[in-house]
């Protein structure tokens, strides 16, 4: 069974020591995917793995691990960013529902996974983003990035 890192290392990572998201969440392209947009308090990114269509992540710009560590304006601003990203997903994918998942059990830097859910899914399925791999042809991936960027700018 995969295990957590030792508690002292986990505590250091929670403080931000060696945090991967601090290092690469701002990049246009990183190992996880491509940046859709630079939002006010966060970056909005499209996963390379699109086996779940529209799997995206909204990552807080500064390092924090739990929602109660955020100042009121930061907490409000972060969720306004997430809501804006979700609206764009809703426009592009027209899902049955959007799921919003803040976990951070691997990298404890606040990020919200957005996963559109469709009528073709099992609604009771616990979301496992990495259960399968679905890599799009580059032109289709680029079209998805463009569609989400356009949807963000629509009133």
Least distance (Å) from a copy of itself to the CB of residue 66? 6
Q: Rounded to an integer, what distance in angstroms lies between the CA atom of residue 73 and that of residue 70?
A: 8
Which stretch, 22-30, 44-52, 94-102, 133-141, contacts a copy of itself (CB under 8 A)? 94-102
Per-position x/- string for 107-126, each x denoting binding to a copy of itself as judged by CB under 8 A, each - no binding: -x--------x-x-xxxx-x
Q: Rounded to an integer, what distance in angstroms lies between the CA atom of residue 129 and that of residue 54?
A: 11
Positive/negative CA dihedral, 127, 92, 42, 75: negative
Which stretch, 21-29, 45-53, 97-105, 139-147, contacts a copy of itself (CB under 8 A)? 97-105
8, 28, 31, 72: residue in contact with a copy of itself (rule CB under 8 A): 72
- Decide whether 38 or 66 has the Cβ nearer to a copy of itself: 66
Q: Does 68 bind a copy of itself (CB under 8 A)?
A: yes
Contact 49, 134 (CB under 8 A): yes
The token pair that represents 8 in the structure block: 């002292």
Output DSSP code: residue 69: G
Question: What b/e readout covers 4-38, taking b as 16+ CB neighbours within 10 angstroms?
Answer: eeeeeeeeebbeeeebebbeebeeeebebbbbbbe
Q: Does 76 bind a copy of itself (CB under 8 A)?
A: yes
Given the rule CB under 8 A, which residues bind a copy of itself?
1-4, 7, 10, 65-68, 70, 72, 75-76, 79-80, 82-84, 86-87, 90, 96-106, 108, 117, 119, 121-124, 126-128
């Amino acid at each position: 069974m995969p295990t957590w890192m030792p508690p002292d290392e986990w505590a250091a990572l929670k403080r931000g020591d060696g945090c991967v998201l601090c290092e690469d969440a701002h990049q246009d392209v990183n190992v996880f995917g491509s940046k859709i947009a630079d939002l006010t308090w966060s970056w909005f990114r499209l996963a390379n793995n699109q086996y779940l269509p529209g799997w995206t992540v909204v990552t807080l710009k500064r390092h924090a691990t739990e929602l109660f560590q955020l100042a009121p304006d930061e907490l409000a601003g972060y969720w306004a960013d997430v809501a804006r990203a979700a609206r764009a997903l809703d426009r592009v994918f027209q899902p049955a529902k959007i799921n919003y998942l803040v976990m951070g059990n691997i990298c404890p830097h606040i990020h919200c996974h957005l996963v559109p859910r469709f009528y073709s899914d099992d609604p009771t399925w616990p979301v496992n983003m990495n259960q399968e791999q679905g890599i799009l042809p580059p032109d289709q991936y680029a079209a998805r990035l463009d569609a989400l960027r356009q949807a963000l700018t629509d009133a």
